[in-house]
Amino acid sequence: MNKTKFSLAWLLATVMALVAIPAGAQAATITLSGSTSVAPLATLWAQKYVKTKQGKGTKFKILQGGSDVGISDISRGRVTIGMSSRDPKPSDPGGITFNRVAKDAICLVTNPANGVSGFDQALVQNIFSGKIRSWSQVPGAKEQGTIDLFVRTPASGTQDAFDKIFMSPEKIFSGASQKASNGLVQQSVQRDKAGIGYVSEAFTDGLTIGSYKGVPCSLRNAKSGQYGGVRSFYFVTLGTATGSAKKFIDWTRNNKAALKIAASEWVPFK
């Protein structure tokens, strides 16, 4: 191939690529990223939304990584909606709006072989801050050995909620094992008889759910406001929600089918 033909070929290839990119973006794509607690709910909603008339043809991409990843991504415009399971903080980037779409209960969980089910705030603080290190000092525990704590990494929204609702002003024991997601905490407590941790209510299979201040951790108690450990799920948008994001968020808040999905394992918006 001589020189002119070669350069012409390059020019053609570049032009084709430039034309192809906007053409591929015709169908609406909604990307969500953020909290591992909100992701299962968002997935169920997305699966229902594409079957509705207004959501037909929408493509969903759901990524995880934790509430702070979601907030950082939306503030830079990298995704359509950011998922957050924690309240806004003063250090969050500016210009973002937190739209509440559901509420969730944080449950204290122990291994079924141990089966502790009654907690009050003092006991939770003493256990998680390391003042009590042995199950023999905890009333109702079948285990007698050392307590194994499973907590979340600092950037987790569940961790933030746990700190605010249960722990403050106490700090978590420095030797506690930090896990990166709800699923890993669930798996760790399932496999360790002396384990205790906190998870979102959707991740309590195979574990004994503890009651807090006399109220068992369940969705009904969370909805009625009796259970103390409730936190909000937010869909975060850049500025107020517009376009496909606004349609989706309004659908999740008002549509009956969407509220029914949320009520299966979380506390719905209405």
Partner 1 sequence: MDARVELLLGALASTILLLIAGMVIFVLLKGMPSFTNNGISWFGFGGNVDQQLMDIFNSPANPADYNYELHAGPLLYATALITGAAIVISTAFAVLSAIFIVEFAPHNIRRVLEPVVRLLAAVPSVIYGLIGILVVVPWVADNLISEDRKESVAYVIQLDGTSILVGILILCIMISPIMIAIIVDALRSVPVTWTQGAAALGVNRWRSMWTVSLRAARPAIVAAAVLASARALGEAIMLSMVAGSVGFAPNPLDGFTFFLEPARPLASTIVDNAEGLSVVPFGQTMYAFAAILLVSSAFLSFGGWAARRSLSKYTLGAR
Scan residues 102-131 and list those touching partner 1 (CB under 8 A): 130
Which range in 17-25, 59-67, 110-118, 242-250 contacts partner 1 by CB under 8 A? Answer: 59-67
Q: Which amino acid is at 77?
A: G
| Distance of closest approach, residue 75 Cβ to partner 1, in angstroms | 7
CB-wise, 178 or 255, nearer to partner 1? 178
What is the distance of C-alpha 159 from the center of its chain? 11
Structure tokens at 130: 């390391």
Q: Is residue 44 close enough to count as binding partner 1 by CB under 8 A?
A: no
Cβ proximity to partner 1, 2 vs 91, nearer residue: 91
With beta carbons less than 8 A apart as the criterion, state whether 172 and 153 touch: no
Rounded Cα distance, 225 and 86, in Å: 18
In contact, 223 and 217? CB cutoff 8 Å? no
Q: At what angle do helices 39-49 and 243-254 cross, to 10 degrees?
A: 100
Of 31, 58, 75, 126, the one binding partner 1 (CB under 8 A) is 75
Q: 4-33: which residues touch partner 1 (CB under 8 A)? A: none
CA distance 21 to 50: 24
DSSP 202: G
Decide: is 174 part of the binding site for partner 1 (CB under 8 A).
yes
CB of 15 to partner 1, least distance (A): 24
Q: Is 145 in the site for partner 1 (CB under 8 A)?
A: yes
**Residue 169 binds partner 1 (CB under 8 A):** no
- Binding pattern for the stretch 184-223 against partner 1, x by CB under 8 A and - elsewhere: ----x--xx-xx----------------------------
Q: Please give the distance of CA 108 from its chain centroid, rounded to a whole number.
A: 16
Q: Decide: 97 and 240 in contact? Cβ < 8 Å.
A: yes
Residues interacting with partner 1, by CB under 8 A?
65-69, 71-72, 75, 90-93, 130, 133-134, 145-149, 153-156, 171, 174-180, 188, 191-192, 194-195
